[in-house]
A and B are shown apart, each in its own frame.
Chain A
Amino acid sequence: MMPLPWLVVFLPWLGAVALALAPPRGRLPALVNLGVAGGFCALALGLLGAEHGVQGWTRTDAVNLPLVALSGLIGLASAAFSAATLDCERFDGLRARAYHAAFQIFLGAQALALLSDNLGVMWVAIEIATLSSVLMVAVHGTPSAIEAAWKFFVLCGVGIALALFGTILLYLAAQPLVGQGDPGLSWGALRAVAAHCDPGILSLAFVFLLVGYGTKAGLVPLHAWLPDAEAEGPLPMSAVLSGLLLNAALLAVLRAKAVVGLHPGALAPGPLLVGFGLASLLLAAFALWRRRDARRLFAWSSIEHVGLSAIAFGLGAPFAGMLHLMGHSLVKSAVFFGVGAAAQIKGSQKIAEIGGLAASHPALGWGLALGIAGLAGLPPFALFVSEFLLVAQAAARQPWLILPLGLGLLVGATALIRVLQALCLGEPTPDRPVPGGFALPGGLLWATLPLWSLLALAVLLGFALPPGLAALLSDAAVLLE
């Protein structure tokens, strides 16, 4: 019997094969996609109860299990949204096949990236996730989609290459202590010997891993691909890219940090992360004021939130960081569903052409408004709690940090509130629906249901954290410290 974590990875990949081979007939592929995502979600949630330990190249521990469960939930919600809006995308047969297969390959690959114990396997998984998401970005084939995909592909290709160099260096540092072969790249083995490794090589390795995986995580100044990529491609793609890929990449940085941080003589990884995080937060907070395209705006907001998580982890507040990562994934995916549905109704993703949603489509408009308020850090969502914890920790450890942190949070939040008003309140702009949109029975309901469910989960995460999950997150904080 295959270990459960392997099943979590292989199920979507099997689904991808089936979706690539099956003839696209009517709604069947979208429903199969939904079914496989449902199975993936069930397995990922089931994994929460599994024992912690190592199974070959994968490991289950307190750090990755919550993130895997999260990816199951977001994967399922995205597949549901995808089924509801598939007709809006107007795919031909080949594109529909490529899109569905790439979606499932992506789900499996990012789960493998989260679960892998072996840094080499993690690298391969992130590479596969990148390739499949490049395919999803480019699937429409319009000039702007091609440009976004090319930029994404080239920048992330360089990033991934640098991460591999860092991985090789990390092995070189550990090699005299762990010997040759697979254990040299195992995260557990590396942590066990890190304190006795050569500090020079460890520092060099961390710099390469940070720059390499940091590119994928969208940290400034390596973020240039992210807004372009998220503004193009099918709607559900933005949700999984923002909600899942960034987490997997940031986790890779954190795994490296947890190894390198154990050696007192090596470069201290915390201040570097805080620096990258602050740059991301401040640049993104100001950039939010100048966006005219709704999907780009929320891509910039992802950069802001990844920056905030990086600050939390760098500062040594991993509990706040984990909570922030998870809260951001839930709320941001929900907001992308709302923006996606609105863009289909209004026929444009320009902020100026979407307006007054709360009056014209109350369920969608209010959901989107709540989601944007959540992103701005307002209660009752998890991001409020995590930002509060982060500011409190910053005040306790590095009081000077309060100033730039507060400035970034405030500027970003006000920009988002302004967008909230523009999109959801005020006079409705005329509807120009994309032909064929929301053809499922129930129409818009299928697009708003995933939005509201993710928002509900984000509230739960913030104010009614189940004790089991809270214990898991506290354990994770110890592992990442």
Chain B
Amino acid sequence: MSFGSLPYDIAHLLGGAVLLMSFVLLYQRRLEAVIGAFAVQGALLAAAAFWQGFAQGAPHLYVTALLAFGAKALLIPLALRIALRRLGLHRTVETALGVGPSLLAAIALVGLSVLVVLPATAGQAQALTRENLALALSVVLLGMLMMIARRNAISQLIGLLSLENGLILAAIGVQGMPLVVELSTAALVLMLALVAGIFVFLLRDRLATLDTGDLARQRGEGEAP
């Protein structure tokens, strides 16, 4: 099958939009806004999966799209919002690295992933696959950056979830990727979120704060006797 110009452009546009939302995630200062941006990223990812399913003639990608939409655009953001409201947390984002430096680092990471992926895949694969892969790797790296640059447990969790968005973006872009991987990823992200949710609640119980910086005190080695 060949890619005409329209399917290519739309897939590219959607992939780019997912990456754009990773940048949006990085400059939010309120947790509600972070959660909102994550929901939009989930919806865009679902749209990208849907479009790839259509363009590749691979109907199982519709399932991936549906799962991504249900879990990442609706369920997880809703659960996080409820958690935020119930717990009455302070809602600003605590940063370990300021917004400006984070964005600069993000741009550097996108450059890095383009420089790594495009030459490595030059011998083979269609342009769409290669560029999609570069976009996906950027989303993965930006997710990691968010986990490093934010101190709040919910922000870190969203960083991890957005990192997984990047993985799914990579998986749907590669033609004929076996179904196993997509389904399992989608199911497991939900499990990850569930387990993490349990942790967040436990953290709340024990420590009355979600700032993971405070956790460093709990390390087992303790003070010298």
Which A residues form the contact surface with B (CB < 8 A)? 118, 120-121, 123-124, 127, 131, 134-135, 138, 141-144, 146-151, 153-154, 157-158, 161-162, 164-165, 167-169, 171-173, 175-176, 179-182, 184-185, 198, 200-201, 203-204, 228, 231-232, 291-293, 296, 350, 352
Judging by beta carbons under 8 Å apart, are A175 and B176 in contact? Answer: yes
| Interchain CA distance A450-B180 in the complex, whole Å | 39
6 pairs, CB–CB < 8 Å, chain A vs chain B:
A135-B195, A157-B192, A161-B143, A165-B166, A179-B176, A293-B221
Interface size class of B (residues with CB under 8 A): 35 or more
Q: Closest CB of chain B to A298's CB: distance in Å?
A: 13
Judging by beta carbons under 8 Å apart, are A161 and B160 in contact? Answer: yes
Q: Closest CB of chain A to B32's CB: distance in Å?
A: 22
Judging by beta carbons under 8 Å apart, are A165 and B170 in contact? Answer: yes
The verdict on B137 contacting chain A, using a C-beta distance below 8 Å, is yes
Q: Closest CB of chain B to A200's CB: distance in Å?
A: 4
Judging by beta carbons under 8 Å apart, are B176 and A167 in contact? Answer: no
Judging by beta carbons under 8 Å apart, are A131 and B191 in contact? Answer: yes
**Chain B residues in 8 Å Cβ range of A123:** 181, 184
| Interchain CA distance A171-B174 in the complex, whole Å | 8
* One of A168, A176, A352 near B177 (C-beta < 8 A): A168
| Interchain CA distance A123-B188 in the complex, whole Å | 11
- Given that A127-B188, A198-B123, A296-B221 are contacting pairs, would A146 and B206 also be in contact in the complex, using a CB cutoff of 8 Å? yes
| Interchain CA distance A144-B177 in the complex, whole Å | 41
Judging by beta carbons under 8 Å apart, are A154 and B156 in contact? Answer: yes
**Chain A residues in 8 Å Cβ range of B133:** 169, 172
| Interchain CA distance A204-B181 in the complex, whole Å | 19
| Interchain CA distance A103-B200 in the complex, whole Å | 23
Judging by beta carbons under 8 Å apart, are B220 and A120 in contact? Answer: no
Looking across the interface, which residue of chain B has its beta carbon closest to that of A150? B199
Q: Closest CB of chain A to B131's CB: distance in Å?
A: 13
| Interchain CA distance A231-B163 in the complex, whole Å | 29
| Interchain CA distance A350-B133 in the complex, whole Å | 49
**Chain B residues in 8 Å Cβ range of A292:** 221-222, 224-225
- Given that A120-B181, A141-B206, A293-B221 are contacting pairs, would A203 and B120 also be in contact in the complex, using a CB cutoff of 8 Å? yes
| Interchain CA distance A31-B140 in the complex, whole Å | 44
| Interchain CA distance A293-B219 in the complex, whole Å | 11
Judging by beta carbons under 8 Å apart, are B120 and A200 in contact? Answer: yes
Judging by beta carbons under 8 Å apart, are A165 and B167 in contact? Answer: yes
Judging by beta carbons under 8 Å apart, are B199 and A146 in contact? Answer: yes
Judging by beta carbons under 8 Å apart, are B137 and A165 in contact? Answer: yes
The verdict on B2 contacting chain A, using a C-beta distance below 8 Å, is no
> Would you list which residues of chain B between 87 and 101 have a CB under 8 Å from chain A?
none
| Interchain CA distance A148-B174 in the complex, whole Å | 36
Extra inter-chain contacts (11) besides given A142-B206, A153-B199, A168-B181, CB under 8 Å: A131-B188, A131-B192, A157-B192, A165-B140, A184-B176, A184-B177, A201-B124, A204-B116, A204-B121, A291-B221, A292-B224
Candidate in B123, B185, B219, B220 with the most chain A CB atoms within 10 angstroms:
B220
**Chain B residues in 8 Å Cβ range of A135:** 195
* One of A121, A151, A165 near B180 (C-beta < 8 A): A121
**Chain A residues in 8 Å Cβ range of B219:** 144, 147, 228
- Given that A153-B199, A231-B220 are contacting pairs, would A164 and B167 also be in contact in the complex, using a CB cutoff of 8 Å? yes
Judging by beta carbons under 8 Å apart, are A164 and B220 in contact? Answer: no
Q: Closest CB of chain B to A148's CB: distance in Å?
A: 7
The verdict on B79 contacting chain A, using a C-beta distance below 8 Å, is no
Judging by beta carbons under 8 Å apart, are B199 and A144 in contact? Answer: no
> Would you list which residues of chain B between 110 and 167 have a CB under 8 Å from chain A?
116-117, 119-125, 129, 133, 136-137, 140, 143-144, 147, 153, 156, 160, 163-164, 166-167
